[in-house]
Amino acid sequence: DLAEYYQNQVELKQTFIKGIAWPVFELAIGLFVVGLLIAVYAMLGVKNPTTGEPISILGLSGWSGLKIYVSIIFALLAILVAVIQAIRHQLISPDSFLGLFMRIPLLSFPFKNIAMARFSWCLSMIHGAGVDAQRTVSMALRSSLNPIFTRHIKPVEQRIIDGESFHAALDKTEEFSREFISVLEAGELSGTISETLDHQAKTFRRIAKTQFTMLTKVMGGLVFLIVGTLFVFMIWNLFQMYLSPINDALGGV
């Protein structure tokens, strides 16, 4: 079971990375083309035929504009790399980022389901090992690695100490779905908590994998739409610049 769990974690990570690879590539190509256009216009000294001013892209023109553009891109990359390294070396907690993701409906679903998969699997394994109820629920909530669950560790522990069942204590957090609480209650009443939650963990992992795949497709579509809109806007502006003098000349005939 442990090997299967970690194998599923690796597969989820690979699915997410493969899914975002193409959107990131599209974004990188788009940013490169914008920078290349600024550089080409600066090199050729292309000017607006109407005003005589250098043609700007995103408000940037000439070599100074290119320097500003490149500086902004590298600054954003440096911030991103710094944040990733800080999380990897545990200098900052990822809880704040997860908390932000959990407030965004589209992003929250896969992250919550993978947290539920961790919680269900851990509760199943620890309960099956005969650990006392308080430690079991505490370790299971902590294993979710998600702040919407870990913030309830102390209150849930206290309810368990007061003699409440797992499903009753967790239900009061209002973070677990009614369906999950009902399944957990059935497992407690039938004495099959470990088996029931193991099945739930597999279900949550399968749902999370599907949702991550859908999420990356949506991200890819959004990036394509943004980059495409930017290019259409730039082409239209260039077209208007060169069309305007022609219209003026024809109007004067």
Closest CA to 193 of 215, 157, 166: 166
In the chain, where are the structural domains located? 1-92, 105-206
Kindly state the helix (H) or strand (E) to which residue 207 belongs, with its residue range. helix 193-251
Please report which confidence band the pLDDT of residue 22 belongs to, taking 50, 70 and 90 as the band edges.
Answer: confident
58-96 burial: b if 16+ Cβ within 10 Å, else e: eebbbeebbeebeeeeeeeeeeeeeeeeeeeeeeeebee
pLDDT of residue 73: 92
The closest alpha carbon to 95, from 156, 141, 145, belongs to 145
50/150 Cα distance (integer angstroms) = 62
Q: Tens digit of pLDDT for each residue in 121-169?
A: 999 989 888 889 999 999 999 988 888 899 999 999 999 999 999 999 9
- Which pair of structure tokens corresponds to residue 78? 């440096």
Per-residue pLDDT band for 96 (boundaries 50, 70, 90) equals low
pTM, rounded to two decimals: 0.71
The CATH architecture of the domain made up of 105-206 is: Up-down Bundle (1.20)
Average pLDDT of the chain is 82
